[in-house]
């Protein structure tokens, strides 16, 4: 898995506890699983009598669902066989239940999550027993009793994110960022949920802004929103917003907020997760919220018989194949179109090349075209061909801040031996391959007469340019940018 951001230290520590190695580079970070747990399982499999019996049956061809890999590890289909060793099974159960990445799921969700990777006989019972005796779960999870009133189920939506439910989890400790409640938004079809940290003092306009930036931008505008009769939704602003979006707001039956039972149940699960986090992380519950959202959406849902993510993206595999083929066709077409307007350029290792740089000046406009054309510096030796269109150069110490790999479009071959080349000019090249040009002197002045006014102009010679390359600039802009240049000039 690759990411383009810096991982928080606390998450790095958590990944180390999960036997996950973390490799950090300049632009990407990657996680690599260390096989320590699998090695332990492989070691103790050979001491498990039940698994040894399965091995003997496998050799006789009597255990078609089992197999051995190259390391001799026994697998049941695509699930590794866990030997009857207490410390190994307890470690697996603990990592699946107690860590910040799992946040104390229920026994059913935990069993189906573990079932994807591990197998041992009668696995469901120890999972249920582990959850049942968990001290944190017993202290924070609510006991659900039979409610009064028969359930009036709402019609199942026809499409994803067509109907959503909303509610707030309030009364939470105030975080350092000022959050004291969570806005819970759930899709009624896939059960995918978004947990948005908010403050109870947020105005309707602020909530609408969050709604659009966090929900509408990902899933579009729903046809129907279901919520209880909270003051957040009954305000005139919300009614006007939903009217403008052509959304029908269906309120719950008065004094019976469990008409919106889906979000109420999600809120209860979320509160259980956050209370478990609070025991470990204190009042910084907002830092756990992204993990809680991922854990909830990635866990098995009994009503769906799959996770919300699977329900949301179940057609993605076939669609990705089509997208992959379409992208290959588009890339081929784009390459053909671009290559018609380009030329191939190759260099050899030990060749010398010039490097293109761009001058920048401290005024906004120039009145003569072509005076901003890039210049070349060098030559520099080619050290390595990185790919078909990129080369690594040997740069001098004064260019140490510049990345040493360049595209061929920035290079020009040096046709003479480097000993005959002029020494490198002190251009003070920046990391983006630009340098600043400064005016050397004013050659002459003039007035440009237009229909409505007269503009004072001056002809300026720039550093690293001859007098023939001087440009006409507005005198007022030059005086503002370079007042010392006009010390001996009349006003």
Q: Which residue has the higher pLDDT, 104 or 142?
A: 104
Cα gap 217→211, rounded to integer Å: 9
The mean-pLDDT minimum among 68-82, 241-255, 328-342 falls in: 241-255
Write b or e for each residue in 244-264: b if 16 or more Cβ atoms lie within 10 A of its Cβ, otherwise e: eeebebeebeeeebbbbbbbb
Q: Which residue has the higher pLDDT, 341 or 272?
A: 272
The mean-pLDDT minimum among 43-52, 202-211, 242-251, 401-410 falls in: 242-251
Q: Counting Cβ atoms within 10 Å, is residue 326 exposed (0-12), middle (13-18) or buried (19+)?
A: exposed
0.75 cut: is pTM over it?
no
pLDDT tens for 368-419 read 334 444 467 778 888 998 888 889 988 888 777 778 888 888 888 887 766 5
Tokens at 128, concatenated? 């249920």
pLDDT at position 117 is 92
Tokens at 388, concatenated? 């078909």
Cα gap 376→431, rounded to integer Å: 15
Write 230-236 long-range contacts (CB < 8 A, 24+). Answer: 230/167, 230/168, 232/168, 232/204, 232/207, 233/166, 235/204
Distance of CA 124 to the CA centre of its chain: 35
Give the length of the chain. Answer: 491
Count of CB atoms within 10 A of residue 233's CB?
Answer: 20
Q: Which residues pair with 442 in a beta bridge?
A: 460
Nearest to 430 by CA among 392, 398, 405: 398
Among left, alpha and beta (phi > 0; psi -120 to 50; other), residue 43 is: alpha
Asked whether 260 and 253 are in contact (CB, 8 A), the reply is: no
Q: What is the mean pLDDT of residues 330-349?
A: 70
pLDDT at 280 over 80: no
Cβ within 8 Å of residue 230, ≥6 positions away:
167, 168
pLDDT at position 438 is 78
Q: What is the mean pLDDT of residues 66-85?
A: 91
Cα gap 367→180, rounded to integer Å: 58
Q: What percent of the chain has pLDDT over 90?
A: 11
For β-strands 248-251 and 405-407, DSSP reports them as unpaired
pLDDT at position 358 is 64
pLDDT at position 370 is 40
pLDDT at 429 over 70: no
Asked whether 239 and 249 are in contact (CB, 8 A), the reply is: yes
Cα gap 38→81, rounded to integer Å: 10
Cα gap 406→393, rounded to integer Å: 8
Q: Helix (H, G, I), strand (E, B), or coil: what is residue 405?
A: strand
* Mean pLDDT rounded to a whole number for the chain: 75
pLDDT at position 222 is 77
Cβ within 8 Å of residue 281, ≥6 positions away:
100, 287, 288
């Amino acid at each position: 898995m690759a990411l383009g951001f810096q991982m928080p230290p606390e998450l790095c520590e958590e990944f180390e506890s999960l036997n996950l190695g973390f490799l950090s580079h300049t632009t990407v970070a990657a996680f690599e699983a260390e096989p320590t747990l699998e090695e332990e399982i492989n070691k103790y499999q050979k001491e498990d009598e039940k698994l040894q019996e399965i091995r003997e049956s496998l050799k006789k061809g009597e255990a078609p669902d089992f197999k051995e890999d190259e390391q001799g590890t026994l697998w049941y289909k695509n699930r590794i066989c866990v030997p009857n060793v207490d410390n190994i099974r307890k470690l697996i159960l603990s990592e699946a239940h107690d860590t910040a990445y799992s946040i104390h799921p229920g026994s059913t969700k935990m069993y189906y999550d573990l079932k994807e990777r591990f197998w041992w006989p009668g696995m469901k019972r120890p999972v249920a027993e582990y959850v049942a005796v968990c001290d944190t779960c017993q202290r924070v999870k609510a006991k659900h009793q039979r409610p009064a009133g028969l359930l009036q189920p709402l019609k199942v939506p026809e499409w994803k994110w067509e109907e959503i439910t909303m509610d707030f989890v309030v009364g939470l400790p105030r975080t350092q960022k000022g959050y004291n409640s969570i806005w819970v938004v759930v899709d009624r079809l896939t059960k995918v949920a978004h947990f948005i940290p908010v403050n109870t003092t947020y105005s309707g306009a602020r909530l609408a802004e969050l709604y659009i930036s966090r929900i509408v931008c990902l899933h579009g505008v729903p046809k129907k929103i279901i919520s209880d009769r909270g003051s957040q939704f009954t305000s005139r602003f919300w009614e006007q917003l939903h009217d403008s979006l052509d959304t029908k707001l269906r309120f719950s039956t008065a004094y019976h907020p469990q008409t919106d039972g889906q979000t109420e149940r999600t809120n209860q699960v979320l509160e259980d997760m956050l209370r478990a986090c609070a025991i470990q992380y204190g009042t910084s519950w907002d830092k756990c919220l992204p993990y809680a959202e991922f854990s909830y959406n990635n866990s098995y849902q009994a009503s769906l018989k799959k996770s919300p993510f699977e329900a949301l993206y179940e057609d993605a595999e076939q669609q990705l194949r089509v997208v992959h083929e379409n992208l290959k066709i588009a890339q081929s077409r784009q390459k053909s179109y671009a290559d018609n307007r380009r030329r191939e350029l190759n260099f050899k290792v030990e060749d010398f090349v010039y490097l293109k740089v761009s001058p920048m000046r401290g005024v906004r406009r120039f009145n003569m075209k072509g005076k901003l054309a890039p210049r070349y510096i060098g030559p520099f030796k080619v050290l390595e061909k990185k790919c078909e269109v990129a080369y690594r150069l040997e740069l001098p110490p004064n260019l140490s801040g510049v990345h040493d790999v360049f595209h061929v479009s920035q290079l020009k071959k040096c046709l003479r031996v480097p000993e005959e080349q002029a020494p490198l000019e002190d251009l003070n090249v920046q990391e983006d391959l630009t340098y600043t040009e400064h005016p050397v002197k004013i050659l002459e002045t003039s007035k440009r007469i237009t229909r409505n006014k007269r503009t004072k102009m001056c002809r300026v010679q720039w550093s690293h340019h001859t007098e023939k390359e001087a440009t006409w600039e507005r005198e007022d802009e030059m005086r503002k940018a370079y007042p010392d240049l006009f010390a001996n000039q009349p006003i």
